[in-house]
Amino acid sequence: MDLITQLLVAALSSGTPLLFATLGGILIERSGIIQLGAEGLMLMGAVAACLTYLHTGSLALTLLAALAVGAALGLIHSALTVTLRANQIVSGLAMTLFGTGLSAYLGKSITGQPIPGAVPKIDLAFLEPVPVVGDLFAHLDLLTWLSFLLVIVLHLFIHRTSWGLHLRAIGDNPPTADVMGIPVQAFRYGCIVVGSMLIGLAGADLLLVYSPTWIEGMTAGRGWIAVALIIFARWNPLRAMFCAYFFGAMDTIGFKIQLIGSAIPSYFLKMIPYVVTILVLMFLGYRNRNKPSGSPEALGLPYIREQRF
Amino acid sequence: MNETYSLEMRQIVKTFGPVVANDRVDFRCRPGEVHALLGENGAGKSTIMCMLSGVYRPTSGEIYIRGKQAKIRSPKDAAKLGVGMVFQNFRLVQTLTATENIVLGEKSSFWRGPGWLRRKEEEIEAIAKRFGLLFPVDRPIWQLSVGEQQRVEIVKTLYRGAEFIILDEPTSVLTPGEAEQLFETLAQMKAEGKTVILTTHKMKEVMAAADRISVMRKGRMIHTIAKADTNEKELAKLMVGKESAAVRRESRPRAKGPVLLEVRNLDVYGDHGRLALNDLSLTIRAGEIVGVAGVAGNGQKELAEVLNGLLPWKKGKIVFNGREFKTASVRGAIEAGISHVPENRMKSGLAGSLGVVDNLLFKSYRSGERSKYGFLRSASNREWSQSLVEQFDVRTPGLDTPVRQLSGGNQQKLLFAREIHRNPHLMVAVHPTQGLDVGATEAVHRLLENLRDEGRSVLLISEDLDEVMQLSDRILVLYNGSIVGERGREEADRETIGMYMAGIRDEKEEAV
């Protein structure tokens, strides 16, 4: 494998958890609710997956646990932001702080225990001879294939179904959606809960596939990167895929440089994804300075029906 | 449950906190008529229609549709009963296409491939054609003109099978030509047996389009009458509660003052890099009111902003009082003597949660009379505020009352007090009477005329053509960011101005 192929493979594996979290976030924010709890949700998903796997050894139960934890936290976020109309930023930050703290407590007993090979790989032997493609796709695990599928499903859902149309309307103009008979609040609940489940799954993927040991705070800011990726991808699942792999590559590029034996201190190399985040934001802000951002118009605004307008 | 009525609202009461918006209102419609609901701004017309369309729920009262009592709890219920409403602020999702907006809320067919979409587009185009409502079905809403957006809204109600179609102030956003077209559509709807309810405060529309007329005033239903049995004068009397004074004031011939403001070939870019003012030139002399007419969104907002230093310009020059403006500066404009009554008084005119004194201070706190060494002179500022409040007849419970709690008219008077007491050379007033009642409108008009009589100038930007024609010494028409026509007070008539508003240039002027 040459260096570029190695980088692509690494980008795929470290980008997949980011992709899950970004897709979840897109679903939530398309409904007009700001999602800043990804870091906490991912940690909770990871610790729930780790505990379940160590106790039961069943992959299905493990994934279910991560999804369930995501759904529970999503339900809290929706109750706060949709029903009680709490500030969405504060609620999201609370999710992150709460998730970080609780996951650290729950994971105390299992810190450092390895979880090898929990997710089966799907071997596609016929792909092996093909250059690059073989290296990338011949031995991918189940969850990565699931993430590909999710991108397509979410894209079709948003752009090709009646519910997707409702979702786009709710995120842009909830009073209009309401007048057209769409249950705005129920839709928002649904999107937040399902989106949070995906973010919980992102945590499980990170733990089971990418770095198979529970360590406190193991997401190391990936939740926040996912928040930024939602914006880079301009709330579009297909673009989210490319953005996630790009940042996955940035994430691993530090290791690669270290392996070559460069003299740059590793602290600086670890900063790469975050520095790139800032640079990309600046670049996109400059390039799109005269364009609408593509963000849902009603993002961050609670909806109350009987308000004088 | 009289059989001749297809829709009946009985003793409807609606309160918002302490405010009674509708007080025991009765309203009845016959099948297949165009029924106009006439009243001033704030008379409660929109409120009662919102209850019919399920946006609000009545505090008490009953609604009967086709003789059966109807419980309308949501817009969905209303749609099921065949009630569709076109709101004054359109209910359209800007990023979706016209077709997507129209089928929004439809439950059928979860999967929507390109084939499904094409079928819907054809179906919608057929309806649009039948009623003479043309618009591009596959374009996103933000690319359509306001008139086209309204057509999308009307087709939306028809597509959903509405039998009762409510239009809330439909012509306020249209050119006179577009309004004509709308009335033809209404006639077609009537011919197909639909009941059309039209809320408006414009007498001309009522006389042009309606079969029967209900007049509302201050939240109460005053009278319902057939058009054939009444006339404009009687309706005006019912609407305002007193014989309204002859609208057009005597014009006094006056000497032309020196040039105060000279704008030459100005190019200004608005939101999203759109060219909002395109090679615009205008001149304002001392002691005249210059009215700017035009359909919303043709550069009015940008014109006001550039004169007040809120927006930079790309090309051209602005000379005010013999001095050329070098850069856009709000402070520069204030110090040069330009006052601003912005379009939305609560958004960019006043700070709602602050009191009267603070709001009055915004443009003069720097002066030595109001502050010393950076500290405000509280006691003298209160006295000064009190005198302004009295002079401008602002009714407020106290000097520290958050101005949000004042009525619209008093807010506007407060704003005028702040802007006028500095003795500006030029006042730029944008929609100065929007949402005000008759009394307050009258007061604002008097303030503007007084300014003129003192030899100061006013640039009056308004969508209300009647207001512009009533007050202005000269009328300019803004279309697509340029002045396309100019008329003196005497030679202005609605028809010509309407043509200019639609972008039809005068051939005579073109040749020059």
Closest residue in A to B19 (Cα–Cα)? A308
DSSP H/E element including B13: strand B7-16
Closest residue in A to B114 (Cα–Cα)? A160
Which residues in A lie closer than 8 A to residue B57 (C-beta atoms)?
Answer: 306
What's residue B206's pLDDT? 84
Closest residue in B to A171 (Cα–Cα)? B93
- Are the CB atoms for B436 and B416 separated by under 8 Å? no
SS (H, E, C) A16-35: HHHHHHHHHHHHHHHCCCCC
Which residues in A lie closer than 8 A to residue B75 (C-beta atoms)?
Answer: 178-181
- Are the CB atoms for B106 and B113 separated by under 8 Å? no
What's residue B252's pLDDT? 57
pLDDT (tens digit per residue) in B136-181: 998 889 888 888 999 999 999 999 899 999 999 888 777 778 888 8
Residue B512 pLDDT greater than 50, yes or no: no
B203 and B279 fall within a common domain: no
Compare CB distances from B272 to A161, A172, A291 and report the shortest one's residue. A291
C-alpha to C-alpha distance for B91 and A174, rounded to whole angstroms: 9
Query: Residue B253: which pLDDT band, with cuts at 50, 70 and 90?
Result: low
DSSP H/E element including A73: helix A59-78
Cβ distance of A165 and B112 shorter than 8 Å:
yes
Cβ distance of A175 and B91 shorter than 8 Å:
yes
Which residues in B lie closer than 8 A to residue A180 (C-beta atoms)?
Answer: 75, 91, 104-105
Which residues in B lie closer than 8 A to residue A305 (C-beta atoms)?
Answer: 55
Query: Residue B197: which pLDDT band, with cuts at 50, 70 and 90?
Result: very high
Domain count of the fold of chain B = 2
Cβ distance of B55 and A179 shorter than 8 Å:
yes
B454 and B324 fall within a common domain: yes
B98 and B160 fall within a common domain: yes
Beta bridge partners of B60: B13
Compare CB distances from B112 to A161, A178, A309 and report the shortest one's residue. A161
Q: Sheet harboring B482-488: ordered strands across?
A: B338-341, B426-430, B457-461, B289-293, B474-479, B482-488
Residue type at B161 in one-letter notation = G
Which residues in B lie closer than 8 A to residue A160 (C-beta atoms)?
Answer: 111-113
C-alpha to C-alpha distance for B377 and B169, rounded to whole angstroms: 47
What's residue A188's pLDDT? 95
Cβ distance of B112 and A162 shorter than 8 Å:
yes
What's residue A264's pLDDT? 80
C-alpha to C-alpha distance for A68 and A72, rounded to whole angstroms: 6
Cβ distance of B272 and A162 shorter than 8 Å:
no
Cβ distance of B92 and A175 shorter than 8 Å:
no
CATH at residue B168: 3.40.50.300
Residue A36 distance to chain B (closest CA, Å):
25
Tell which of A30, A157, A166, A173 to mutate to test the B interface (max B CBs under 10 Å): A173
Whether this model's pTM surpasses 0.90 = no
B205 and B264 fall within a common domain: no
B459 and B338 fall within a common domain: yes
Coil, strand or helix at B32: coil
Closest residue in B to A159 (Cα–Cα)? B112
B205 and B320 fall within a common domain: no
What's residue B272's pLDDT? 62
Residues of B with CB under 8 A from a CB of A: 16, 53, 55-57, 74-76, 79, 85, 87, 89, 91-96, 100, 103-113, 272-273
Segment of B241-250, B276-285, B430-439 carrying the highest mean pLDDT: B276-285
What's residue B177's pLDDT? 80
Residues of A with CB under 8 A from a CB of B: 160-163, 165-166, 168-169, 172-173, 175-182, 290-292, 297, 305-306, 308-309
Cβ distance of B93 and A163 shorter than 8 Å:
no
Cβ distance of B95 and A160 shorter than 8 Å:
no
What's residue B153's pLDDT? 93
Kindly give the pairing relationship between strand B289-293 and strand B474-479.
Answer: parallel
Closest residue in B to A169 (Cα–Cα)? B93
B194 and B268 fall within a common domain: no
A286 CB neighbour count, 10 Å cutoff: 8
Compare CB distances from B105 to A175, A182, A305 and report the shortest one's residue. A182
Cβ distance of B91 and A180 shorter than 8 Å:
yes
Does residue B186 lie in a domain region?
yes
Cα angle B86, B19, B242; round to 5: 80
Query: Residue B246: which pLDDT band, with cuts at 50, 70 and 90?
Result: very low
- Are the CB atoms for A25 and A227 separated by under 8 Å? yes
Candidates A307, A252, A179; CA nearest to A12 is A252
- What separation in angstroms does the CA of B484 have from each of A95, A198, B56, B270, B506? 57, 57, 43, 19, 8
Which residues in B lie closer than 8 A to residue A162 (C-beta atoms)?
Answer: 106-110, 112
Does residue B444 lie in a domain region?
yes
Q: Structural domain of residue B104, as residue ranges? A: 31-54+73-212+222-240
Q: What is the largest CA-CA distance in chain A?
A: 66
For tokens 């006043």, the residue is B350
What's residue B260's pLDDT? 93
Beta bridge partners of B323: B320
- Are the CB atoms for B265 and B279 separated by under 8 Å? yes
B476 CB neighbour count, 10 Å cutoff: 25
What's the count of helices (H) and strands (E) in chain B, helices before strands? 17, 22
Which residues in A lie closer than 8 A to residue B96 (C-beta atoms)?
Answer: 165, 168-169, 172
For tokens 């609606």, the residue is B14
Residue B198 distance to chain A (closest CA, Å):
19
Residue B112 distance to chain A (closest CA, Å):
5
Residue B249 pLDDT greater than 80, yes or no: no
Q: Read off the DSSP letter of residue B424.
A: -
What's residue A269's pLDDT? 81
Residue B509 pLDDT greater than 80, yes or no: no
Beta bridge partners of B8: B28, B64
Gyration radius of chain A over CA positions: 20
Closest residue in B to A290 (Cα–Cα)? B272
Closest residue in A to B160 (Cα–Cα)? A180
Compare CB distances from A176 to B76, B93, B103 and report the shortest one's residue. B93
Candidates B208, B125, B140; CA nearest to B174 is B208
Beta bridge partners of B282: B263
B201 CB neighbour count, 10 Å cutoff: 18
* Phi and psi, residue B475, nearest 5°: -120, 125
Does residue B217 lie in a domain region?
no
C-alpha to C-alpha distance for B8 and A39, rounded to whole angstroms: 56
Tell which of A176, A297, A299 to mutate to test the B interface (max B CBs under 10 Å): A176
Residue B217 distance to chain A (closest CA, Å):
19
B337 and B451 fall within a common domain: yes
Judge residue B43's burial from the number of C-beta atoms within 10 Å of its C-beta, 0-12 exposed, 13-18 middle, 19 or more buried.
Answer: buried
- Are the CB atoms for B101 and B159 separated by under 8 Å? no
C-alpha to C-alpha distance for B140 and B422, rounded to whole angstroms: 46
B134 and B191 fall within a common domain: yes
Residue A170 distance to chain B (closest CA, Å):
9
Residue type at B2 in one-letter notation = N
Task: Mention the CATH class of domain A3-287.
Answer: mainly alpha
B270 and B350 fall within a common domain: yes
Cβ distance of A306 and B100 shorter than 8 Å:
no
Residue B510 pLDDT greater than 80, yes or no: no
B195 and B114 fall within a common domain: yes
Beta bridge partners of B226: B212
Kindly give the pairing relationship between strand B60-65 and strand B68-70.
Answer: antiparallel
What's residue A128's pLDDT? 85
* Phi and psi, residue B337, nearest 5°: 100, 35
Helical H runs in B64-193? Answer: 75-80, 98-103, 114-130, 146-159, 176-191
Closest residue in B to A307 (Cα–Cα)? B56
Residue B1 pLDDT greater than 50, yes or no: no
Print pLDDT tens along chain A (309 aa): 677 888 888 899 999 999 999 999 999 999 999 999 999 999 999 999 999 999 998 999 999 999 999 999 999 999 999 999 999 999 999 999 999 999 999 999 998 888 887 788 888 888 888 888 888 888 889 999 999 999 999 999 999 999 999 999 999 999 888 888 888 999 999 999 999 999 999 999 999 999 889 999 999 889 999 999 998 898 999 999 999 999 888 888 877 777 777 778 878 888 888 888 888 888 887 887 766 667 888 888 888 775 443
Closest residue in A to B56 (Cα–Cα)? A306
Compare CB distances from B75 to A165, A169, A181 and report the shortest one's residue. A181
Residue B312 distance to chain A (closest CA, Å):
15
- Are the CB atoms for B166 and B36 separated by under 8 Å? no
**Residue A263 or B296, more confident:** A263
pLDDT (tens digit per residue) in B38-79: 887 668 888 899 999 888 889 999 999 998 999 998 888 898
What's residue B244's pLDDT? 43
Does residue B141 lie in a domain region?
yes
Tokens of residue B355, six digits:
């009191």
Compare CB distances from A309 to B57, B89, B96 and report the shortest one's residue. B89
Compare CB distances from A180 to B105, B109, B113 and report the shortest one's residue. B105
C-alpha to C-alpha distance for A45 and A40, rounded to whole angstroms: 9
- What separation in angstroms does the CA of B57 have from each of A182, B4, B107, B217? 18, 26, 25, 21
- Are the CB atoms for B25 and B31 separated by under 8 Å? no
Residue B221 distance to chain A (closest CA, Å):
21
C-alpha to C-alpha distance for A47 and A41, rounded to whole angstroms: 10
Mean pLDDT across B258-282: 88
Helical H runs in B210-281? Answer: 232-240
Compare CB distances from A181 to B16, B79, B85 and report the shortest one's residue. B79
B231 and B271 fall within a common domain: no
Cβ distance of A160 and B113 shorter than 8 Å:
yes
Length of chain B: 512
Which residues in A lie closer than 8 A to residue B15 (C-beta atoms)?
Answer: none
